[in-house]
Amino acid sequence: MKSHATFMIYCLIPDTNKDPGFLQARNIPKGEAITNTYTPVLWGNRARAAYLASSKLFTCRCERCLDPRELGSHLSSVRCRQCQGGVLLPPSSPAETVWQCESCGENVAAAAVEAMVRAAATMAKGAVGDAEELQAVVCQMTRLVGECHYVTVGAKHSLVETIMAGRLHGEREREREREREREGLFT
């Protein structure tokens, strides 16, 4: 079996960036392994684990993959409906089938949590490229799975990209208009 270092993977906090080449992405203390990630860092633990198992045939055991709180990011935690501000944490082993709220202790069946996440994930379909719709989707997702969940974070990322693309398009249009005005002055 290949080692973690051989795969150059360290999910949330890789120290290199492979685009356009392997560039150092943060300080690497002397003696620390050179690492990289094979998945988008905004995917939750289970989505990354499923992808790595099917496409790379290994289970990552880095600090983030072993942590249900994902180093405090709570990207996979789901909003608890029984208390204010609590989140349901995924079970620590695949054999367990209950998610538990770390604040109030509420137990929810894994199948129910997975259905919620699937429902949230489908909300973004059809809203891509439409900032107003994406904003509404982000609100719906926040109510369903919470503001930190990776599905919500992904929709927020799409919203920012859509807003920025719209501003860029508007700026290009204004520049073209200014060019046309300048051409008009000199003809």
Which residues of this protein are in contact with Zn ion, per CB under 5 A?
11, 60, 62, 65, 80, 82-83, 86, 101, 103-104, 106
b/e code 43-78 from CB counts within 10 Å (16+ = b): bbbebbbeebeeeeebebebebbebbbbeebbbbbb
What is the DSSP pairing of strand 78-79 with strand 87-89? antiparallel
Q: Which is nearer to Zn ion, 6 or 82 (CB)?
A: 82
CB of residue 52 to Zn ion, shortest distance in Å: 8
CB of residue 152 to Zn ion, shortest distance in Å: 18
CB of residue 145 to Zn ion, shortest distance in Å: 14
Q: Which is nearer to Zn ion, 113 or 159 (CB)?
A: 113
Query: How far apart, in whole angstroms, are the C-alpha atoms of residue 10 and residue 107?
Result: 31
Beta partners for 23? 17
Q: Which is nearer to Zn ion, 12 or 124 (CB)?
A: 12
Helix (H, G, I), strand (E, B) or coil at 98: strand
Q: Which is nearer to Zn ion, 59 or 122 (CB)?
A: 59
Beta partners for 109? 98
CB of residue 163 to Zn ion, shortest distance in Å: 31
